[in-house]
Amino acid sequence: MSNSAPAPESAEIEAIRDTVRALCARFPNEYWRKLDRERAYPSEFVNAMAEAGLLASLIPEEYGGSGLPLSVSATILEEVHACGANGAACHAQMYTMGTLLRHGSEKQKQAYLPGIASGDLRLQAFGVTEPGAGTDTLSISTTAERKGDTYVIRGQKVWTSRAEHSDLMILLARTAPKGSMEKRTDGLSVFLVDMREAPADKLRIRPINTMINHSTTEIFFDDLEIPANALIGEEHKGFRYILDGMNAERILIAAECIGDCRWFIEKSTNYASERKVFGRPIGQNQGVQFPIARNHVELHAASLAVSHAADLYDRGESCGAEANMAKLLASEASWHAADTCLQTHGGFGFAEEYDVERKFRETRLYQIAPISTNLILSHVAEKVLGLPRSF
């Protein structure tokens, strides 16, 4: 690997990295280019990750998983991205099940977690965001109305990635009118929706074409009936259940950014060392050296922040601020490295065969999702520094 690879680690972690590298070697850059060109889903890659047990790292052994800490899952996704692949096609299989694991009934966990762990069931769809609510989750309007032994779902979700390739969905819906509960955070509930059983006219999925191959969609619920036992945890308490999983999501996304950053730095370093202009490598020029060196410094700092946030999470300590800050630092480090890499390659950076333009587009997403940089800064300003709320 490149000089920007992590410092020496335990034999177990290094073995996991080797496993991921070997798996990714079976899916070279040509594989990802073709998928990107065709806007196709990497089913073969996702199946291989599941078969290797890599997507079940966070699921306890009693349900068929590995029972590993979040820091190990972060290592897996980091290495996927450092190899030039993209974990976005399957990363939700790692963390979305956390809502079920932490708040579901034992019957629900026994019914679904073993299948998720083996890869026989895909739980990759996360239905939260809506066109009129965005990150303002408390303003969602999709409703779940209790009718006897069922809930009737009405509404719309957007940016629900991988819904076309998932069997199950974690859905957040309103079970009480906004403002009708004592706590403003109450009134939302979480459901585990089995999309295999949903009639096509009741749950409609429409793909959204984007600048990256992300398999994202919008979903329309037209009086979709689901069994009452699809409710996870207590009715009206779903908002805090969803929040529980967001720290894990941010840390894992940050780890992907670390992997991207490593890939860009390695690509830049190799090209700057090999490309000759006027009879000498362009990497001899400090104007080329310094941006790459700065990228390495930013990578080092961001990697430490991600490791710290993951360690706090694994110890069960509060880590909301740390998870958000790690995601901000890692996404900015990867974006800066992407810009340097494109600049270093010059015109060749725009050529598909170099893979820079694909990874450039992919890593740009993390300035926006799963939470934008500005919202993280707002969180730090208000929740960490105690500044007045801006709205």
Please report, for the domain that includes residue 226, its CATH number: 2.40.110.10
Q: Which residue range forms the structural domain that includes residue 221?
A: 123-236
- 300 lies in some domain: yes
- 3 lies in some domain: no
- 92 lies in some domain: yes
- 218 lies in some domain: yes
pLDDT, residue 243, reads: 85
Same domain, 53 and 130: no
Same domain, 208 and 99: no
Same domain, 287 and 318: yes
- 176 lies in some domain: yes
pLDDT, residue 3, reads: 42
- 66 lies in some domain: yes
Among 64, 90, 118, identify where a domain stops: 118
Please report, for the domain that includes residue 281, its CATH number: 1.20.140.10
Please report, for the domain that includes residue 99, its CATH number: 1.10.540.10
pLDDT, residue 7, reads: 45
pLDDT, residue 391, reads: 65
Same domain, 362 and 280: yes
Number of domains in the chain: 3
CA separation (Å) from 217 to 154, 157, 355? 17, 8, 25
Same domain, 288 and 377: yes
pLDDT, residue 19, reads: 97
Phi, psi of 122 (to 5 degrees): -105, 120
- Reference 189, options 221, 148, 234, 220; nearest CA is 234
Predicted TM-score of the model (pTM): 0.94
Low-confidence ranges of the chain (pLDDT < 70): 1-8, 391
pLDDT, residue 206, reads: 97
In this structure, the dihedral spanned by the alpha carbons of residues 70, 73, 79 and 80, taken in order and rounded to 10 degrees, is -140
Among 236, 255, 284, identify where a domain stops: 236
Same domain, 43 and 114: yes
